[in-house]
Structure 1
Amino acid sequence: MSESLEARLDRLEAQAAIADLINAYARAVRRDEPEQVGALFVPEGTFEVRAGHPDKAEYTVRSRYETPEALVEFLVGQKGGPHPIPLLHNLMIEVDGDRATANAMMAAPIYGTDKEVFGEYNDSFERRDGRWLFSGRIYTVFPG
């Protein structure tokens, strides 16, 4: 391996911290605790929901939140109603210094209904003051 032991350890620690961050977001959604979500993003972090297909590049933007506060405001407005129970699969994380990206599949029954949503997360992250945070989340909902 050309990567030093220190670099490998940093990468592994970053991947673990990012996986914990992704799971913390899913837990907040599952528990209907939208107030927890804002602290998981950098202040200028964004969240976008798209509609698209798993095997095509084309998509349409369904909604976009330009700040964590805007996302939390939307989620708080939905509090107490039907909400997804995120089940994440195939998480892949790539770290490059203080930035990283991740990709994961999500299947989520909608609590309180007989519906389910399937899609894919494409995330970006920044390490700030030693802490990994979302800088952007894109969730593409698959049809059907």
Structure 2
Amino acid sequence: MTRTVEERLQALEDRLDIIELEAAYARTFDEHDGDGWSALFTPDGTYQSRPVGDAPPVTFVQGTDALRAFCTQAPFDGIHFLHLPQLTFDGDTAQARVHLEFHGSYGQDAGAPRLALHGFYDVAYRRVDGRWLIAHRVTSAFSREQSTVLGYPKGSGLPA
């Protein structure tokens, strides 16, 4: 099937819009911008961790208000490193897998835990009023490492 120039242009614009959506996802979450982050989801949008076996997901958040609170009240600071999404489109819906690294900390004091997570997101998108939004996002971690901040000690440690 041959697509028109307009169809090809729309396909490129859709792909770029979702790439921009993913960039905004990482930035707004890392900045604890709950309003901005929750606005990237459909009103009934869901963020969840992938269940392990028969256990329920550790994290399951649905709806604008819950998403806003989850982001704003996150007990850690961190930074997302996202790879480009591998996208498939079907009209006004799309799906992607987005590989990620996340590095976070639970405070700056000695003894505060640090986290390094490697994994991927599986994401379902929906175009609503001409704008691509996240309908459902599932985090799958395949590596999670925790370490402890010891703090930088003052002085030499040698006897006076």
TM-score tier after normalising by the smaller chain length: 0.7 to 0.9
Work out which of the residue numbers 64, 68, 72 in structure 2 matches 1:72: 68
Letter in 2 for 1:30: D
Q: How does 1:63-102 map to 2 (within 5 A)?
A: 63-78=59-74, 81-102=75-96
- The structure whose RCO (Cα within 8 Å, separation 6+) is larger is 1
Give the 3-state SS of the residue equivalent to 1:115 in structure 2.
strand
Cα drift, residue 2 of structure 1: 2.0
2:38–2:68 Cα contact (<8 Å) kept: yes
Deviates most, 14-23 or 111-120: 111-120
Alpha-carbon shift at residue 75 of structure 1 (Å): 2.2
Kindly state the Cα deviation for residue 83 of structure 1 after the two structures are TM-superposed: 2.6
Distance 2:121 2:3 in 1: 28
Q: What is the deviation of 1:62?
A: 1.5
SS of match in other structure, 1:2: coil
TM-score (norm 2): 0.76
Query: Which residues in structure 2 correspond to 1:38-77 (within 5 Å)?
Result: 38-50=38-50, 60=55, 61-77=57-73
Give the counterpart letter for 2:69 in structure 1.
E
Alignment partner, residue 124 of structure 1: 124
TM-score after normalising by structure 1: 0.83
Give the unaligned 5+ runs of structure 1: 53-57
Alpha-carbon distance, 1:59 to partner = 7.7
Q: Is the Cα contact below 8 Å between 2:88 and 2:94 reproduced in 1? A: yes
Q: CA deviation at 1:34?
A: 2.4
CA RMSD of aligned residues (A): 2.0
